[in-house]
Amino acid sequence: MLNIEGLEQLDPQAPVVMLNLMRFHVRSRDGDGSGWDAYLRYSAITVPMIKARGGTLLWTGEAKAIALGPHAGNEWDFVALVSYPTVAAFLDMMTSEAYETEADPQRLNACAEHVIIATSEAYSKFKTK
């Protein structure tokens, strides 16, 4: 469930990087391949939506092992960092009819659990200035 109330507490014009943590279904909920297959379908739909709002996919990778912290509840399959120019851009995408009708069904087919954490930058090695 999208935490619109929490996101509206943030500066709507501030840039944001969303940390995505995903655990996939073994089989896609719609029966069309694996959870990973459904995630690839979801990504094919959402990446153009992200780019259309000035965002970019910064990094993705497999979650391999818990290095520090509780193991219970932290068994993730995949991680993605997605940058948006503003919180408003993220909300615009997530609340769009296209996301709701085209992307979200594939996300639900793919993910047994999907957590998105809004972050604000404290330091970045990616800075070019």
31-60 pLDDT, tens digit each: 999 999 999 999 999 999 999 999 999 999
The pairing of beta strand 56-62 with beta strand 78-84: antiparallel
**How far apart (Å, rounded) are the C-alpha atoms in residues 54 and 48?**
10
Tell me the two tokens of residue 28.
């896609």
Mean pLDDT of 116-120: 95
Residue type, 125: K
Neighbours of 28 (CB within 10 A): 20
